[in-house]
Structure 1
């Protein structure tokens, strides 16, 4: 240890100040699944309508049907229906079990396992039958088209089927109502273990957002175009625009439901215990200590790690100096209101673009309905994200003011 005369490392620095997060608008998982299913189902119907529409309003054609139903593969409809409804049906089954055996946790666990594997088996049988029929009619390329998302799923989640049936799954830690728990600890090692757990949970949720939005846009927008009959003519530009906004709308909905402000506040509280280290060329301090994994460090403390000097940033610093993962975690969640602000701006841009497309590009009646529905969905997401931004900005700015006041008073 280099000892030249400054503050010593402290194993009892104290706890950061946490402002209680208000209880508001936390929706049930079943409600989220209903909204997502409704969105994907409507988008899929609009894409099929755009491809297989008829000119039923012309009396001389004697056409009474809105769609060319005879050209749509029934097995394809069943296949897509099973894919987009899998989570909603499973959520209903889980809710029924919870209400039936609410007082007996052992029975709940057993029956949930039975229902889970039974439901997976039924879905696999239906999908296999549909794939065989589609293969006999369309060939190997169609089989590859419908099976391709499986490779994406294996890349993201491996052979864990839980992520296919549920949006949020436990990552091995403690949860309450689907939310990971935060423990205000003063033990530096415990804090870093909690950060690793929360980081894993966040990464799984983010991958779930990407996979869910891509899968829904793929089966709701791309697959109908791939199986469109050659005798049909439809506007490819409109179809591509629909696919893009299907994905953007699905991404926004998944983000709102999977990463609510309440969840981000848990990660924010953990980041205050983590802090971060900033590399310095010359500390100018009279005393430099060797970094120790068991110590918590005060604001402005200088430590030496791997022959480099670092200065601590934050009310408490327990991060490992030079650890990029810890630095990213602190940077993102030290003030989540910035993330919500960026999301709000992005959602506002999407809504404005959709309104412009609705005015200039949407001419046919079904395109007007489709773009109007997508715009309404994104307005719903914009409202929720903007509300989260306003609330978190107020809370975290007040929290920062309290910390600065406490810090200035402590070192005067």
Structure 2
């Protein structure tokens, strides 16, 4: 009738009967979750899986060039030479004299008070600094192929001779130091080893997961079911075997499609990265301790030295050693490996309660590759997918930290460049304001080492910056979809 109420047309009925795309995406067929609508009711519809409706974009990785890396022997030799230079500089700062005075003055005969220097301590520090170089030479010689039995026997004899000489020299210096100094001073000689044992031997990640088996803190029973903590001697033997063995192989990355395999690969890379960071921290602190701090512990009470300058020297030595070890143990190829794994891992951003109340929400599933922007519920919390691929555990903080550190491939390199640039600028500022000859000499010698490290970092940054800024497409040259 003309004045009556019109009902919905046939076209409107057909449109309202069809579910919206958001309803299909939020259906409960893929992971058992329903869609939360405005009335907070669950709509259970039969729909294809989520990954069939929205497939994440394929992750494309940039192919970076093979940048030159110093060999192990060359790097250890350069690090040892740098530590010897800064040790010499520290002794100049402590035992300097007024050598420009007339010869009638008692302190004008030499530039240093050589009679106050304990040469046994210098030899002890030199042997401790050379331990990495000696062991690297022995390890490299051990892996070289010997064509005959005679060459193999000569190689074994040379290694034994070198180790025997170093051990005898170390014992000789310790005996002389024990006869001259007090017990309190002698405790400073082995203090870093007391820190190394709990840090690298017994501070392990005790998690009963398959990737955590490499940490070495748990031991399986013969049935392979229960786990119990390892005893002191077992951990000590395993750590000693690890130190005497060759370096661990660098992990490899494959573009896996299984979320479980991606998480397993990330766990292995996390364990390897933590091991490298521990090695960098310990060796940098070890070098700075023996080079810049230990000589101060054996200074006589009547000897005056500039405490502020010695502390600045200690900080600069530790910073340079830290950057040098980081650039060697975390080369560009290794950082690119971590970046590729982080791109497949993804990240979840936790949302506050009440956010996105009208958007589709799903229950998180460990067998689903979630696309970007999807909302999931896990452990009574709401999370939003951030990365293009998201297979990380939403409540795992280590996964979020891994993605934050490595989803940008140049983050670590930029951090090292910032640290080294700050050190170089501060050294130049101190050099311009220095009014003492020992400060000028020490800064001039240390700056040469800092310039070399900064040059290598800037070279890698320029090359990698151009490689990663290249458009990521399947048809681009130099890039490959894996």
TM-score range, shorter chain: 0.7 to 0.9
Deviations 1:263-299 (A, max 9, x none): 1111001001101112234446765332222222222
Give the equivalent residue in structure 1 for 2:131. Answer: 86
Q: Find out whether 1:361 has 2:434 as its counterpart.
A: yes
Counterpart of 1:142 in structure 2 is 185
Q: What is the Cα deviation at residue 195 of structure 1? A: 0.7
Question: How far has the Cα of 1:330 moved from its partner?
Answer: 0.3
Compute the displacement of 1:85 (Å): 0.5
State whether residues 124 and 173 of structure 2, in contact with CA within 8 Å, keep that contact through their aligned partners in structure 1: yes
Q: 1:3 to 1:351 in 2, by over 3 A?
A: same
- 8 Å contact from structure 2 (residues 56, 371) kept in 1: yes
Query: Which residue of the partner structure matches residue 213 of structure 2?
Result: none
Q: Give the aligned partner of residue 347 of structure 1.
A: 420
* Local SS of the residue matching 1:336: coil
Give yes or no for contact 1:271–1:330 (8 Å, CA) kept in 2.
yes
Provide Cα deviations, 1:375-396, integer angstroms capped at 9, x if missing partner. 2222222222233333333333
Q: Which of 295, 298, 305 is residue 368 of structure 2 equivalent to?
A: 295
Seen in structure 2, the aligned counterparts of structure 1 residues 220 and 164 have a Cα distance that, compared at 3 Å, is farther
Matches within 5 A, 1:272-351: 272-280=343-351, 281=353, 282-283=355-356, 287-351=360-424
Aligned twin of 1:60: 104
What is the rounded CA distance, in whole Å, between the counterparts of 1:231 and 1:327 in structure 2?
Answer: 55
2:316 corresponds in structure 1 to 245
Among residues 249, 273, 276, which one is paired with 1:205 in the alignment? 276
CA contact (8 A) 1:8 1:289 kept: no
Residue 244 of structure 1 aligns to a residue whose secondary structure is helix
Structure 2 residue 121 is matched with structure 1 residue 76: yes
What's 1:392 paired with? 464
- Cα deviation code 1:129-151 (max 9, x no counterpart): 43343222111111211111112
1:383 and 2:455 are equivalent in the alignment: yes
Change (3 A) 1:257 1:162: farther
Residues 155 and 117 of structure 1: CA distance in aligned 2, closer, same or farther (over 3 Å): farther
Q: What is aligned with 2:297?
A: 226
Secondary structure of the structure 2 residue equivalent to 1:198 = helix
Q: Distance in 2 between matches of 1:289 and 1:367?
A: 65
Matches within 5 A, 1:12-23: 15-23=58-66
Deviation at 1:65, TM superposition (A): 4.6
Query: Can you list the C-alpha shifts for 1:161-202, whole angstroms capped at 9, x where unaligned?
Result: 478789x942xxxx2xxx321122111111111111111111
- What is the distance in 1 between the residues matched to 2:258 and 2:77? 42
Larger Rg: 2
Can you give the 5+ residue segments of structure 1 that lack an aligned partner in the other structure? 404-412
Give every structure 1 segment of 4 or more consecutive aligned residues whose post-TM-superposition deviation is greater than 6 Å: 114-122, 162-166
Say if 2:153 is the partner of 1:153: no
Structure 2 residue corresponding to 1:194, chosen from 260, 265, 285: 265
Distance 2:173 2:139 in 1: 26
Aligned to 2:207: none
Structure 1 Cα separation of the partners of residues 148 and 70 of structure 2: 23
Q: Distance in 2 between matches of 1:97 and 1:374?
A: 34
Shift of 1:222: 0.9
Residue 176 of structure 2 is matched in structure 1 by: 133
Equivalence for 2:72: 29
Contact 1:51 1:234 in 2 (8 A): yes
For residues 325-362 of structure 1, give each alpha carbon's deviation from its aligned partner in whole angstroms, at most 9, with x where no partner exists. Answer: 00010011000323333332332222111111111125
Query: TM-score, normalization: structure 1?
Result: 0.83
Do the aligned partners of residues 391 and 335 (structure 1) sit closer, same or farther apart at CA in structure 2, a change above 3 Å counting?
A: farther
Task: Give TM-score scaled by structure 2 length.
Answer: 0.72
**How many residues are matched?**
389
Q: Per-residue deviation at 1:252?
A: 1.8
- Give the secondary-structure state (helix, strand or coil) at the position aligned to 2:94: helix
Deviates more, 1:63-72 or 1:344-353: 63-72
What is the Cα deviation at residue 125 of structure 1?
5.6
The equivalent of 2:230 in structure 1 is: none
Q: Displacement, 1:209?
A: 1.7
> Contact (CA 8 Å) 2:67, 2:460: kept in 1 or not?
no
Label 1:165 to 1:60 Cα distance change in 2 as closer, same or farther (>3 A). Answer: farther
Q: Structure 1's 165 and 138: CA in aligned 2 closer, same or farther, altered over 3 A?
A: farther
The 3 A distance-change label for structure 1 pair 146 and 182 is: same
Q: 1:374 to 1:161 in 2, by over 3 A?
A: farther
